[in-house]
Structure 1
Amino acid sequence: METTKVRALGDAELRDETRKIAEQLFRIRFQLKLGQNEGVKKLRELKKDVARFKTIERERALGIRGTATAVAPATKGRKAAKEAS
């Protein structure tokens, strides 16, 4: 699932989707242990989805959702600082 779609989900929906993906991940891992190698690509995809969901949950918990990181303005060199004063 794309990050923009995940961010559009509410908190309850996000937890619900995380639970569903975790269950799918468990099932695919179980199938791989039984020798069914059809889900390797799906396994990678689900692992990334779980990480994406947990990252967004953590962002919301910390209150940093949607805030851009501010870049400090460039400082003037010594010569320019002396001239300004």
Structure 2
Amino acid sequence: MTKAADLRQKDVAGLENEVKDLQRAHFGLRMQKATQQLTNTGSLRVTRRDIARAKTILAQKRAQSATK
């Protein structure tokens, strides 16, 4: 699980990389679920929420830099 405070310390490029990495991880988990290899289905929910958290902070940082 990714903490919001850790994400807020990253810059925009770092957050974009984090979102990409989380999306790759989520895709892998979805494929494992489809092939019935995934035992912990709760990890799908956690990664989905981590992606949302990172995207929210990324949008906030972009909006903040646009107003400056």
Q: What is the CA-CA distance between 1:47 and the residue it aligns to? A: 0.4
**With CA pairs under 8 Å and 6+ residues apart, which has the higher RCO, 1 or 2?**
2
Once the two structures are superposed, the pairs formed by residues 5-44 of structure 1 within 5 Å of their partners are 5-44=6-45
Number of the residue aligned with 2:62: 61
Provide the C-alpha distance between the structure 2 equivalents of 1:38 and 1:2, rounded to a whole number of angstroms: 24
* Aligned AA (1:33): A
Structure 1 letter corresponding to 2:48? K
For residue 50 of structure 2, what is the aligned residue in structure 1?
Answer: 49
The structure that has the greater radius of gyration is 1
Root-mean-square deviation (Å): 1.4
- Which ranges of 4 or more aligned residues in structure 1 deviate by more than 3 Å? none
Structure 2 residue ranges without an equivalent (≥5): none
Letter of the 2:44 partner, please give it.
L
Q: Percent identity?
A: 25
Q: TM-score, structure 1 length as denominator?
A: 0.69
Report how many aligned residue pairs link the two structures.
64
Unaligned 5+ residue runs, structure 1? 65-85
For 2:50 and 2:64, the matched residues in 1 are separated by: 21
Structure number with higher helix proportion: 2
1:32 CA drift (Å) = 0.2
Q: Tell me if the contact between 1:6 and 1:53 (Cα under 8 Å) persists in the aligned partners.
A: yes
Partner of 1:73: none
Amino acid at match of 1:60: K
Map of 1:79 onto structure 2: none
